[in-house]
Amino acid sequence: MKKAILVRHAKSSWSDMSLRDHDRPLNGRGKRDGPRMAAHLHQTIGSIDAIVSSTAVRARATSQFFKEVYEDSIEEYLLEEDLYHASEATILDVIQRSDDQHDTVLLFGHNPGFTYFANLYHQGQIDNVPTCGIVGLNYQVDHWSAATMDNAKLSFFYYPKML
């Protein structure tokens, strides 16, 4: 079994309107929620193997909180430009390109793609994956390239207001 965990970036700052969207940093709430959610995930699922993050500043900053918590188990840390405002098809493509030596991969990215993608695997409806929300997907495959919505199940959904 392979596990893909989607983490929407933590709350970003809009204080400097001259910044490009890609360059917006985290705000105070984002800097508070990131470490809390990283610690919660670590307590819940234990180790991970790899992190793949959007190149956007807010996604990279969020991924760093998780990288610090998981420093002993992370074998690979990648920046993936394709995750910046990715569609469902692009998110699946990034998952399918993951290295088979990794069983659990964290992906850091954005809405609306992450919410749309999570809903492909959920029987009900997730209205919104909020900032720093985490969605776990279990794929019943041995190789990432075989991951599809037909062989996966949503295993958990966490978000900061739950803590």
**Percent of the chain with pLDDT strictly greater than 90:** 93
Confidence bin at 125 (pLDDT 50/70/90): confident
CB 40 within 8 A of CB 14: no
**According to the model, what pLDDT value does residue 154 have?**
94
**Percent of the chain with pLDDT strictly greater than 70:** 100
In this model, does residue 89 exceed pLDDT 90?
A: yes
Residue 81 neighbours by CB distance under 10 Å: 10
**pLDDT tens readout for residues 23-51:** 999 999 999 999 999 999 999 998 999 99
Cβ partners under 8 Å of residue 1, min gap 6: 103, 138, 139, 140, 141
Question: pTM here?
Answer: 0.96
Confidence bin at 123 (pLDDT 50/70/90): confident
In this model, does residue 124 exceed pLDDT 90?
A: no
Amino acid found at 51: I
**According to the model, what pLDDT value does residue 121 have?**
87
Question: Any bridge partners for residue 30, and if so which?
Answer: none
**According to the model, what pLDDT value does residue 144 have?**
98
Rounded (5°) CA angle 36-37-43: 95
The architecture of the domain spanning 2-162 is: 3-Layer(aba) Sandwich (3.40)
The sign of the dihedral angle between the CA atoms of 11, 130, 162, 49 is: negative
Integer angstrom CA distances of residue 69 from 18, 34, 104, 122, 144: 33, 11, 15, 28, 25
- Return d(Cα 65, Cα 132) in angstroms, integer: 11
